[in-house]
Structure 1
Amino acid sequence: MYMLFAVIGGICIAVQAGVNGMMGKQVGSIEASFVSFLIGTVALFLCMIFLGKGNPLHVLNLPKWQLTGGLLGAVYVFISVTMTPKLGVATTILAIIFGQMAASTLIDHYGLISGKHIPIDWRRAAGLVCLGAALILFYKK
């Protein structure tokens, strides 16, 4: 069931890139990124009001670096909006996934952020090489 939800999340990201990319061509990249985040913020606010179980005031006690997630998400949305019309949905998403996998592999290897240490082995390295090769194949004209 967890894997199904992850796949649905991936589908949403691909569709989002296409939708936001088209919006960006019509209203501007920064403006489309803002509108996308605004609509998402309103939707999450309503979910928090009606379905939330946590306490949003606890955010005041978090280390400041933990508040960078929204900024990083905004960078991702802006890059997606800007690159999708230039590269296409598939190449943009593949490039994003390659960046995610390379960074997350290093994060796991050094036990950064989550604290879980998962060393890079030949399988993970081979997976990154295959993903990089796929990116080259998708990008080549």
Structure 2
Amino acid sequence: MQSTSTNGAASMTTATQPRAFLRWLLLPLVILAGMGLSVEAGLLGPLGVQVGHLWATLSIFGVGSALLFLLLLFSGPQQGPALNELPRWQLIGGLLGPIYVVVLTLATPHIGVAMTMIAILSGQVGKSVLIDHFGWFGTSRKRVNGERWLALALIVVALVLIARG
């Protein structure tokens, strides 16, 4: 019986190793994507001033939609349910994306890229901590501990320091 529990622990450790490796592999990719958002904010601010905030937003989503269409076209058949089979609340992201981009085009020329992005980051982390804590939207629950509260507080401190600087 002891060998079974040892094997179970060994297989559990083996199963968590690829997950941990994937986590560290994805982290730089996510950081690069975050850098891309800062570049997007830097581009959208002046574009919104030149052509209007809604036109700037439409152009960004138009280019993105064209790119996604080409990727879907050349990636082969996709598996998944039809959009009408999904719960409607899962499509809210389609509303949030344009709101986010319009806010970027409005805020960036006035408060700068750094202030815009740290404010967005504070909102993202704050809401993310709540989503994790309560397991909203079908996510697994991750209790908020002291370290997470400290991280959120430090982001708010960074926001204040950047605002003052």
- Which band: TM-score by shorter chain? over 0.9
Deviant stretches of 4+, over 4 Å:
none
Q: Which residue of 1 aligns with 2:158?
A: 134
Q: Which residue of 2 aligns with 1:90?
A: 114
Give deviations 1:59-84, integer Å, cap 9, x for gaps. Answer: 22101111111111111111111111
The structure whose Rg is larger is 2
After superposition, the Cα gap between the structure-2 partners of 1:52 and 1:123, relative to the gap in structure 1 and judged at 3 Å, is: farther
Question: Partners of 1:114 and 1:81 in 2: how far apart?
Answer: 31
Q: Which residue of 1 aligns with 2:130?
A: 106
Q: Which residue of 2 aligns with 1:58?
A: 82
Q: How does 1:26-65 map to 2 (within 5 A)?
A: 26-55=50-79, 58-65=82-89
Query: Which residue, out of 37, 47, 59, partners 1:23?
Result: 47
Unaligned runs of 5+ in 1: none
Question: Partners of 2:68 and 2:102 in 1: how far apart?
Answer: 19
Query: Which residue, out of 99, 102, 110, partners 1:78?
Result: 102
Question: Partners of 2:81 and 2:73 in 1: how far apart?
Answer: 13
Question: Partners of 2:138 and 2:110 in 1: how far apart?
Answer: 34
After superposition, the Cα gap between the structure-2 partners of 1:36 and 1:122, relative to the gap in structure 1 and judged at 3 Å, is: same
Q: Which residue of 2 aligns with 1:4?
A: 28
Q: How many residues align?
A: 141
The letter of the residue matching 1:40 is G
After superposition, the Cα gap between the structure-2 partners of 1:100 and 1:52, relative to the gap in structure 1 and judged at 3 Å, is: farther
Which is bigger in relative contact order (C-alpha 8 A, separation at least 6)? 1
- Normalised by the length of structure 1, the TM-score is 0.94
Shift of 1:114: 3.1
Q: Which residue of 2 aligns with 1:117?
A: 141
Question: Partners of 1:50 and 1:128 in 2: how far apart?
Answer: 41
The letter of the residue matching 1:72 is L
Question: Partners of 1:126 and 1:114 in 2: how far apart?
Answer: 25
SS in 2 for 1:94: helix
- Normalised by the length of structure 2, the TM-score is 0.81
